[in-house]
Amino acid sequence: MYGSNPVGLRIEVSAKGKASYFVEIRIKGRKSATRKKIGSVDLISLSDAQAEAKAMLGDAAKGIDFRYSAQEEEIKPETVGYALASIFRAACDMP
């Protein structure tokens, strides 16, 4: 099922009956469209899915490819030393 607000937002239902939000994006400079799962209908509201789709479509219009920007956001593991240092900085109001 396609949505009209924003254009490209859709809900897909799997064979097992699980519904998920997807957005179909045509990235500036590319010929084919790319699909990206936003999340499960059970966990994300329609308004949140619409906001996420609008943000992704805005980035795509600027030529930002979400497939590569997601890989750049690497989560660094929090070690005990890092956690203690951040707590100490917060307690001392240090930047």
CA–chain centroid gap for 73, Å, is 11
pTM (2 decimals)? 0.60
Q: What is the residue range of 32's domain? A: 2-92
pLDDT score, position 13: 93
Of residues 21 and 81, more confidence is placed in 21
**The two structure tokens encoding residue 3:** 């949505």
CA–chain centroid gap for 2, Å, is 19
Q: List the end-to-end C-alpha distance of the chain, in Å, as a whole number.
A: 49
pLDDT digits (tens, 9 = 90+) for 75-94: 555 677 777 777 888 888 75
Q: Are 22 and 66 in contact (CB under 8 A)?
A: no
Greatest mean pLDDT range, 4-8, 42-46, 86-90:
42-46
pLDDT digits (tens, 9 = 90+) for 46-77: 889 899 888 888 887 777 777 766 554 445 55
User: What is the spatial order of strands in the sheet that 19-25 belongs to?
Assistant: 2-4, 7-13, 19-25, 34-40
The CATH number for 81's domain is 3.30.160.390
Average pLDDT over residues 31-52: 87
Q: What is the tally of structural domains in the chain?
A: 1
Q: Is the peptide bond before 95 cis (omega within 30 degrees of 0)?
A: no
